[in-house]
């Protein structure tokens, strides 16, 4: 079945030898004997430090930073991407990004510097100042320089405009050294492969699965990758509903959400999901597939009453309510031969308040201790609808039905929200772990409900700690 992995690397087409293992990490290949591009570093091997950042050059001219320690080599087929060795100034000397980093004294031991340079090169709005730079840098750690000179370097960057369009994704099938990697070209082909290989790894962005290779050193036998299936890459609007393909990256989703005021709070939450590198690869379908109780994308789906489409070759499509999708700790309704194809999201109804919250130890690039999403509709001073969803408070993401019952039909008063906060103890059973004790989680979740009251009753108050 095997073809060769092909991509455009640093502007030059590359066709890899047929014996190249497709399920190794991109980082392993880049630093190995075939490429010898050792400017891309391995720091943490788990997507946190950004030393391995390379930049995908998109078909629309955009630039997407990704973690080479998480991306698998087969995922790069058909794409164009650049490593730090591929940046040059017009005179053949250092690229302007490298020049400003040196001039701002923004490097000491230099280990993090290639990754930071790549994040800076991918930063689309250099002219937007430090807010934008903070977001661009959230996926890069530096242990010695301190961030002030690095931010100075970012501030000195000049926007180098929109790049020329580059290669896009394409399908293919590769195998070597007992490893098979499939990039099917259609949903029908993917479903047939899933039916034939129910034990194969189903790979969307790989920001969860990639850790099994880079951190846990597992060697997958067969991988079915979703990224070249056009049906899974669509975002469609149908009136007040949004249909999101399961393989749409957070980065793309964020651009859709940013253009719609009704989803402003969800967009702000997505900006805190991982880093730009993680959002460049990770997907909502993968968040559902992992089904972690602290998946940030999941409480908003519960609060908005999302529906999830599942498909198999044998039984076709079924659409289930997000409410019933999670059946236990990291367990879902998904059968072995099924895949998640899309998520149907209704826009918050006009006049409703839709809020997403995340409590974590760090503002950026951190996993939630508690997350929440609330939809509240008030009519004539009474709460006509309340959907309160929490993450990190039970074995699955959950609706707080007792707390909802306290609010629904009642007047919009602080006492009602206080009663809902008390009732929360009947809805959740938080654990204690290193992110927070059970008491901390319950107090934090109650605090979010109290803040919800103030958001609903006094929309004129600014309750944000960090500017959105
Ligand atoms: C550094 C770092 C930071 C992170 N920060 C956050 C964070 O802030 N918040 C958060 O929620 N998560 C975070 N994550 C976790 C991860 O990014 C998310 O869970 C993401 O949504 C996974 O999506 P993916 O496309 O990369 O999934 P993958 O890794 O490709 O897959 C994950 C699982 O879902 C299954 N799957 C994927 N797509 C489908 C499908 N269409 N149908 C059926 N099953 C499917 C896969 O088989 C696999 O079991 C972080 C991860 C890292 C490494
Ligand atoms: S090596 Fe640290 S993010 Fe990849
Ligand atoms: S300069 Fe040493 S880690 Fe950043």
> pLDDT per residue over 296-321, tens digit each?
999 999 999 999 999 999 999 999 99
- In this predicted model, what pLDDT tens digit does every residue of 271-285 receive, in sequence order? 999 999 999 999 999
pLDDT of residue 294: 94
Task: Give the rounded distance of the alpha carbon of 98 from its chain centre.
Answer: 28
Measured in angstroms, how far is the CA atom of residue 85 from the centroid of ligand 2?
A: 18
Give the burial class of 301: count Cβ atoms within 10 A of its Cβ; 0-12 exposed, 13-18 middle, 19 or more buried.
buried
Give me the residues paired with residue 242 across strands: 237, 345
For the CA of 48, the closest atom of ligand 2 is 3
In angstroms, what CA-CA distances link 184 with 40, 150, 174, 285?
Answer: 29, 42, 11, 17
Ligand located closest to 107 CA: 3
Q: How far is the CA of 83 from the centre of ligand 3 (A)?
A: 18
Pocket test for ligand 3, best of 41, 111, 140 (most atoms within 8 A of CB): 111
Cβ(455)–Cβ(463) below 8 Å: yes
Q: What is the dihedral of CA 205, 142, 118, 123, to 10 degrees?
A: 80
Most ligand 2 atoms within 8 A of CB, residue of 46, 275, 276 to mutate: 46
Q: Give me ligand 3 centre to Cα 151, in Å.
A: 14
58: closest CA among 50, 66, 47?
66
CB 104 within 8 Å of CB 156: yes
Q: Tokens 């053949």 — which residue? A: 92
280 vs 229: CA distance, rounded Å: 17
Give nearest CA residue, ligand 3 atom 4. 142
Ligand 2 first shell, C-beta below 6 A: 42-45, 47-52, 67, 69
345: left (phi over 0), alpha (psi -120 to 50) or beta: beta
**Alpha carbon of 365 to ligand 2 centroid (Å):** 13
Is the CB of 278 inside a 6 Å radius of any atom of ligand 1? yes
What pLDDT score was predicted for residue 414? 96
Q: What is the pTM for the complete model shown?
A: 0.96
Residue 163: band (very low, low, confident or very high) from pLDDT cuts 50, 70, 90: low
**Which candidate, 317, 257, 253, 237, places its Cα nearest to that of 285?**
253
Distance set, CA 351 to CA 281, 410, 413 (Å): 34, 17, 18
* pLDDT at 390 exceeding the cut of 90: yes
Distance from residue 467's CA to the centre of ligand 3 (Å):
28
Q: Which of 390, 403, 402 is CA-nearest to residue 444?
A: 390
pLDDT > 70: what percent of the chain? 96
pLDDT tens sequence across 309-368: 999 999 999 999 999 999 999 999 999 999 999 999 999 998 899 999 999 998 888 999
How many Å lie between the centroid of ligand 2 and the Cα of residue 117? 14
**What pLDDT is stored for residue 348 in this prediction?**
94
* pLDDT for residue 468: 45
Span 121-148, mean pLDDT?
A: 81
Q: What is the pLDDT confidence band of residue 84, given thresholds at 50, 70 and 90?
A: very high
CA of 358 from ligand 3 middle (Å) equals 29
Centre of ligand 1 from the C-alpha of residue 204, in Å: 8
Express each pLDDT in 181-222 by its tens digit. 999 999 999 999 999 999 999 999 999 999 999 999 999 999
Token pair 């280990």 is at which residue? 111
- C-alpha distances (whole Å) from 199 to each of 224, 246, 332, 419 are 10, 20, 16, 47
Mean per-residue pLDDT, 380-409? 96
CA of 319 to the centre of ligand 1 (A): 21
Maximum CA pair distance of the chain? 70
The C-alpha atoms of residue 131 and residue 150 are separated, in whole angstroms, by: 13
> Does residue 338's CB lie within 6 angstroms of at least one atom of ligand 1?
no
Question: Where are the alpha helices (H) located in 235-335, listed in sequence order?
Answer: 250-258, 264-271, 276-281, 284-290, 298-303, 322-325
Contact assessment for residue 456 and residue 353, using Cβ atoms and an 8 Å cutoff: yes
What is the number of the ligand 1 atom nearest to the C-alpha of 273? 8
Task: Report the nearest atom of ligand 1 relative to the CA of 250.
Answer: 21
Question: Which numbered atom of ligand 3 lies nearest the CA of 109?
Answer: 2
C-alpha distances out from residue 167 to 80, 81, 118, 170, Å: 6, 9, 19, 9
Mutate to test the pocket of ligand 2, among 31, 66, 69 (most ligand atoms within 8 A of CB): 69
**pLDDT (mean) for 9-15:** 96
pLDDT of residue 196: 97
φ, ψ dihedrals at 463, nearest 5°: -110, 10
Give the whole-angstrom CA distance, residue 117 versus residue 36. 19
Question: Ligand 1: distance of its center to the CA of 260 in Å?
Answer: 24
Report residues whose beta carbon is within 6 angstroms of any ligand 3 atom: 107-113, 142-145
If you ran DSSP here, which 8-state letter would residue 364 be given? S
204 CB within 6 A, ligand 1: yes
- How open is the CA angle 357-363-367, to the nearest 5 degrees? 75
């Amino acid at each position: 079945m095997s073809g060769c992995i092909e991509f455009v690397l640093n502007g030059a087409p590359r066709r890899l030898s047929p014996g190249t293992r497709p399920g190794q990490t991109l980082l392993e290949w880049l630093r190995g004997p075939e490429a010898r591009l050792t400017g891309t570093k391995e720091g943490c091997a788990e997507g946190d430090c950004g030393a391995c950042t390379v930049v995908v050059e998109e078909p629309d001219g955009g630039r997407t930073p990704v973690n080479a320690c998480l991306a698998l080599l087969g995922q790069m087929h058909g794409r164009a991407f650049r490593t730090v060795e591929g940046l040059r100034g017009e005179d053949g000397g250092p690229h302007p990004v490298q020049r400003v980093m040196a001039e701002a004294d923004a490097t000491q031991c230099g280990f993090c510097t290639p990754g930071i340079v790549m994040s800076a090169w991918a930063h689309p709005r250099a002219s937007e100042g430090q807010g934008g730079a903070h977001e661009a840098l959230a996926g890069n750690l530096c242990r010695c320089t301190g961030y002030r000179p690095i931010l100075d370097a970012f501030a000195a960057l000049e926007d180098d405009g929109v790049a020329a369009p580059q290669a896009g994704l394409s399908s293919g099938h590769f195998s070597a050294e007992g490893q098979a990697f499939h990039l099917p070209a259609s949903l029908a082909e993917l479903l047939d492969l899933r039916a034939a290989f129910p034990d194969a790894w189903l790979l969307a962005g790989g920001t969860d699965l990639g850790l099994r290779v880079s951190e846990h050193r597992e060697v997958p036998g067969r991988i079915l990758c979703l990224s070249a299936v056009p049906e899974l890459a669509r975002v469609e609007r149908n009136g007040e509903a949004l249909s999101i393909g399961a393989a749409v990256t957070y980065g793309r989703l964020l651009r859709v959400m940013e253009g719609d005021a009704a989803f402003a709070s969800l967009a702000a939450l997505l900006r805190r999901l991982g880093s730009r590198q993680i959002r460049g690869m990770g997907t909502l379908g993968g968040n559902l597939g992992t089904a972690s109780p602290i998946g940030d994308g999941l409480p908003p789906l519960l609060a908005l009453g999302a529906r999830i489409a599942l498909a198999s070759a044998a039984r076709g499509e079924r659409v289930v309510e997000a409410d019933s999708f999670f059946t236990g700790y990291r367990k879902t309704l998904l059968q072995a031969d099924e895949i998640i194809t899309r998520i149907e999201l209704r826009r918050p109804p006009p006049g409703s308040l839709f809020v997403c919250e995340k409590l974590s130890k760090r503002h950026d690039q951190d996993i939630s201790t508690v997350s929440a999403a609330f939809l509240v509709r008030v009519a004539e001073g009474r709460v006509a609808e309340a959907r309160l969803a929490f993450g990190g408070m039970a074995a699955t993401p959950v609706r707080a039905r007792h707390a909802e019952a306290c609010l629904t039909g009642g007047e919009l008063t602080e006492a009602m929200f206080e009663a809902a906060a008390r009732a929360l103890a009947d809805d959740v059973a938080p654990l204690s772990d290193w992110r927070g004790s059970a008491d901390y989680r319950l107090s934090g979740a109650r605090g979010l409900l109290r803040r919800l009251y103030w958001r609903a009753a006094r929309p004129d108050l600014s309750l944000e700690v960090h500017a959105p």
